[in-house]
């Protein structure tokens, strides 16, 4: 459990660093692509987790 939390924290820091890099280079195609990728990934994760939670509550 503790290890999983540490992994999430490291991944979160990396994600923020890459997003900031993309934002600073947003006048290039690469920067725009990074921003779009993270925005899409974030919303996909939010919707998937919401769907999983709904399924979980239906079971119990």
Return per-residue pLDDT of the chain as tens, 60 residues: 677 778 888 888 888 888 788 778 777 788 788 778 888 888 888 888 877 777 666 655
How confident is the model at residue 21, as a pLDDT? Answer: 82
> What is the structure's pLDDT at 56?
61
Q: What is the rounded distance in angstroms from the CA atom of residue 54 to the CA atom of residue 35?
A: 29
Find the helix packing angle between 2-24 and 29-59, rounded to 10°: 150
Question: Rounded to two decimals, what is the model's pTM?
Answer: 0.45
Radius of gyration of the chain (CA): 15
Please tell me the distance from the alpha carbon of residue 34 to that of residue 20, in angstroms, as a whole number: 9
CA dist 35 and 51 (Å) reads 24
What pLDDT shows up at residue 58? Answer: 62
- In the prediction, which pLDDT does 57 show? 60
The DSSP output letter for 60 is: -
């Amino acid at each position: 459990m503790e290890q999983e939390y540490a992994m999430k924290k490291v991944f979160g820091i990396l994600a923020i660093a890459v997003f900031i890099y993309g934002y600073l280079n947003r006048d290039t195609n690469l920067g725009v692509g990074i921003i779009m990728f993270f925005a899409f990934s974030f919303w996909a994760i939010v919707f998937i987790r919401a769907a999983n939670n709904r399924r979980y509550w239906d079971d119990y």
